[in-house]
């Protein structure tokens, strides 16, 4: 057996040279360990581009480590690496490690696997906190224990003060904590002025290798490989950050919630995959946005709106994940049990909003927040899809999906399956919301105004059906009272007709269901 002091595990979403584990290692006694394993692409049915992203970014990072002369044990996918546990076992059979060290992984499942293998080999495991984030799960737990309701807003305000971000003499700059009134507008009739993106990173030889591997080993996975332009190195991610701040941040807030046909990117940053793989640090991204306000005079509403997403929502959902797992995975407050419609995997539907949102997801592994929340998420919620089925879809299909960030967004925010832990009420709306925020309805055969009849919009019909089904449970929720008062205006006949038509949408949704993953 070869002796080593510290076996440092670097997982595919921990590609940061500034990681405390790498910075503090002693190359004469310690080894870095990385493995490309098949299980990570098949435990949920992953999008081809997501697999390429991880393979390519890991291989680029491997080359950086080797260039620095750091000792590295790296297992490639084509070396028959099935799972983390098998790979780590093989290493621990060969290397007598005094201890194994890892930064807190991105999912409970992976942490459990590492813990169990270390236990089997009687090796001490040290799990270190990831200082890429502003907060640790411990900070969130303290926040949660001192609050009646764990709303994001108060967590965010605390962090603004603690890190002195957009603050002036202890108060928020501009006198307000948020600028929602100025933000979240729809586009005018002529649509968005096409913003500059510059995020197309043409695949280099390592990415092409990744594409070839995915074509060979995962040919039946969802998604296209023809348009892979995601950042796979820190340099590319930094270029994306600079471009975003320069060209799109000024309009970010105003059109944060707007959607437009055949415009997948709009004014969004497209930084989530780089942030989640740690090619970029959350702190440096927030700093770049804050500086843009001070130095470039970019509107405060845009800068605050963007910082809130990272300092607020991103930190908050991570806290929710680590505080409430593993029970959180099983949450199903609305007892939803329907299957996920087949078209979530193909994009083949006549409903234009879903066709657009799912179509671009299959093409790029990307949809922006409102498409995820108020189109694909809302439809699953209204249909009553089993939260675990929709969670698996999101975890597999999005380029930026790592469980700590995906699960609370899906189970809590979009499906209300945690019964209101995260969101104070279910995010339900009729098709009229989509009509207001996009131009999708203009080319849809359905009519968002209609809840009944051959051209009834499924969102509008299913919205009323949802309220009827959950009326009793929702009565206790103060924030649902207006919607329930409107429901009370419906006659018994109206209700029966809504339920009857809802059945047709549900049956259509459940046709040809295949089991994936
Ligand atoms: P921008 O719109 O430019 O936002 C800037 C950054 O803020 C993002 O890069 C992201 O890091 C952060 N952010 C914004 N909203 C959130 C949020 N709600 N939670 C956490 N971070 C946020 N985000 C993921 O990173 N991975 C996921 O798997 C994921 N799944 C989601 C599922 C659902 C149902 C919903 C409603 C949201 C999900 N989000 C997820 C949050 C958000 O949709 C994405 O972060 C965003 O669309 C990524 O695109 P962008 O980088 O262009 O973001
Ligand atoms: Fe979507 Fe309904 Fe609008 Fe069609 S009419 S695009 S289904 S909201």
- 516 has pLDDT over 80: no
Report which protein residue has its CA nearest ligand 1's atom 21. Answer: 314
Ligand 1 binding site (Cβ under 6 Å of any ligand atom): 268-272, 275-276, 306, 309-310, 313-314, 317, 368-369, 372-373, 377, 394, 398, 400-401, 405-406, 409-410, 413-414
Which atom of ligand 1 lies nearest, measured to the CA of 256?
2
Ligand 2 contacts CB of residue 351 (under 6 A): yes
For 374-408, what is each residue's pLDDT tens digit?
A: 999 999 999 999 999 999 999 999 999 999 999 99
The beta strand positions in 133-204, using DSSP E, are 167-168, 171-172
Digit-coded pLDDT (tens) for 60-104: 999 999 999 999 999 999 877 789 999 999 999 999 999 999 999
Q: Which residues contact 397 (CB under 8 A, 6 or more apart)?
A: 46, 47, 50, 222, 223, 361, 362, 365
CA–centroid distance, residue 406 to ligand 1 (Å): 8
pTM: 0.96
- From the list 109, 53, 61, 56, the residue with the least C-alpha distance to 85 is 109
pLDDT in tens, 300-310: 999 999 999 99
**Structure confidence at residue 288 (pLDDT):** 98
Using CA positions, which residue lies closest to atom 7 of ligand 2? 351
- On whether the CB atoms of residues 10 and 19 are closer than 8 A, the answer is yes
What residues have CB less than 8 Å from 167, skipping those under 6 apart? 160, 161, 173
Residue owning the nearest CA to atom 1 of ligand 2: 353
Report phi then psi at 456, rounded to 5.
Answer: -65, 140
DSSP code per residue over 191-224: --------------HHHHHHHHHHHHH-TTSSS-
Contact 36, 77 (CB under 8 A): yes
Residue 193 binned pLDDT confidence (cut-offs 50, 70, 90)? confident
For range 357-375, the mean pLDDT: 97
Distance 479 CA to ligand 2 centre (A): 25
- Mean pLDDT over 413-428 rounds to 95
**Residue 88 DSSP SS3:** helix
Residue 73 burial by Cβ neighbours in a 10 Å radius (0-12, 13-18, 19+): middle
- Cα separation, 324 vs 321, whole angstroms: 6
Residue 375 contacts residue 25 (beta carbons within 8 Å): no
Q: For residue 63, report the distance from its CA to the centre of ligand 2, in Å.
A: 47
Which atom of ligand 2 is nearest the CA belonging to 433?
A: 8
Percent of the chain scoring above 90 in pLDDT: 88
pLDDT at 194: 72
Cα 188 versus chain centre, distance? 28
């Amino acid at each position: 057996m070869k002796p080593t002091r510290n076996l440092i595990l670097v997982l595919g979403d921990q590609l940061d040279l500034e990681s405390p584990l790498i910075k503090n290692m002693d190359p004469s006694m310690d080894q870095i360990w990385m493995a490309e394993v098949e299980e990570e692409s098949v435990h949920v049915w992953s999008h081809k581009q997501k697999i390429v992203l991880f393979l390519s970014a890991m291989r680029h990072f491997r080359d950086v480590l080797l260039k620095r002369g750091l000792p590295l044990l790296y297992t490639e996918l084509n070396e028959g690496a099935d799972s983390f546990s098998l790979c780590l076992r093989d290493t621990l059979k060969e290397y007598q490690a005094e201890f194994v060290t890892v930064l807190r992984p991105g999912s409970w499942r992976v942490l459990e696997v590492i813990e169990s293998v270390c236990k089997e080999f009687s090796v001490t495991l040290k799990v270190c906190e990831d200082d890429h984030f502003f907060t640790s799960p411990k900070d969130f737990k303290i926040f949660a224990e001192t609050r009646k309701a764990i709303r994001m807003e108060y967590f965010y305000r605390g962090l603004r003060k603690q890190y002195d971000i957009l603050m002036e003499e202890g108060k928020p700059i501009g006198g307000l904590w948020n600028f929602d009134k100025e933000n979240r507008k729809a586009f005018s009739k002529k649509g968005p002025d096409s913003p500059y993106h510059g995020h197309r990173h043409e695949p280099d030889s390592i990415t092409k290798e990744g594409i070839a591997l995915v074509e060979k080993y995962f040919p039946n996975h969802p998604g296209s490989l023809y348009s892979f332009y995601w950042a796979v190195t820190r340099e590319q991610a930094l270029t994306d950050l600079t471009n975003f701040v320069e060209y799109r941040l000024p309009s970010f807030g105003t059109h944060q919630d707007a959607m437009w046909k055949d415009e997948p990117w709009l004014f969004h940053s497209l930084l989530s995959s780089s942030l989640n793989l740690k090619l970029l640090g959350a702190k440096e991204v927030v700093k770049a946005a804050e500086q843009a306000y001070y130095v470039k005079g970019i509107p405060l509403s845009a800068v605050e709106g963007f910082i809130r997403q990272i300092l607020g929502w991103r930190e908050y959902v991570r806290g929710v994940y680590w505080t409430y797992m593993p029970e959180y995975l099983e949450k199903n407050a609305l007892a939803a049990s329907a299957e996920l419609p087949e078209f979530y995997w193909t994009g083949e539907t006549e409903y234009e909003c879903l066709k657009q949102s799912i179509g671009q997801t299959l093409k790029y592994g990307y949809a922006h927040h409102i498409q995820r929340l108020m189109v694909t998420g809302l439809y699953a919620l209204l249909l009553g899809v089993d939260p675990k089925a929709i969670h698996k879809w999101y975890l597999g299909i999005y380029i930026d999906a790592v469980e700590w960030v995906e699960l609370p967004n899906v189970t809590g925010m979009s499906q209300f399956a945690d019964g209101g832990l995260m969101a104070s009420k279910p995010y339900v709306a009729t098709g009229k919301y989509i009509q207001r925020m996009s131009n999708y309805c203009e080319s849809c055969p359905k009519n968002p105004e209609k809840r009944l009849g051959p051209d009834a919009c499924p969102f509008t019909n299913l919205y009323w059906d949802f309220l009827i089904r959950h009326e009793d449970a929702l009565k206790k929720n103060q924030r649902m009272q207006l919607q329930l008062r409107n429901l009370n205006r419906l006659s018994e006949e109206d209700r029966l007709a809504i339920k009857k038509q809802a059945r047709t949408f549900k049956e259509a949704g459940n046709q040809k269901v295949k089991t994936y993953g």
